[in-house]
Every structure is written in structure tokens, then in C-alpha cells.
Amino acid sequence: MMISDNNTLERLDVSGNNLGNDYFSRCIGPALRTNQSLKSLKFSSCGSNDVSAICEALVEETSTIEELDASNNHVGAVFGQGLSNILRVI
């Protein structure tokens, strides 16, 4: 909820935290739909393998994310397809 309501946070880096398979995505994905200030999102090495909620939010034209780091996670083909959809919108 804090990400949804925060209008000053520009960078979020939760890298290295063990946030589970899809927990981070389920939490941050919906928040990205309303947050208009976040420019950088980094979640490297946090145990994610399902980031579909993040991808869905980033496809929307309301996303302000300019930098995304999902490295060292096991995100697989779902993220690849989501990234493809994001790049089509840009």
C-alpha cells in the first residue's frame, strides 16, 4: 500500500532479499498501476520466478518505470513474454 500511495519515491531496490516465488510480484504489481513517481525498480536475487503481476502493470501506459533489474531470479519464459509485451508498448 505504501508504494501505491507514495508520490515521492523514485527508486526501490529490494535486491538480495528472499521474497519468495511470487510474493514480491503480487505486492508490487498492483501498486505500480497507481504509483506515478517510481522510476527505478530493482529486485535482483530475491527468489522470484513468477513476475507476471509486475509485467502486467508495466504494460499499462501509466507506468513510469525507466530502469528494471530482475537479474539472478528464475523468471523464465513468462518474464520473457511479459518483457516482450512491455517493449512493444514503449
State the pTM of this model: 0.79
pLDDT the model gives residue 76: 72
12-33 mean pLDDT = 89
Q: Tell whether the model's pLDDT for residue 88 goes beyond 80.
A: no
CA–CA distance, 78 with 90 (Å, rounded to integer) = 19
CA–CA distance, 83 with 16 (Å, rounded to integer) = 22
Q: How many CA atoms lie within 13 A of 40 on its CB side?
A: 8
Confidence of residue 89 (pLDDT cuts 50, 70, 90): low
H-helix segments, 23-69: 23-32, 52-59
Report the run of H or E that residue 21 belongs to, with start and end.
none
| Spatial CB neighbours of 85, under 8 Å, sequence gap ≥ 6 | 55, 59
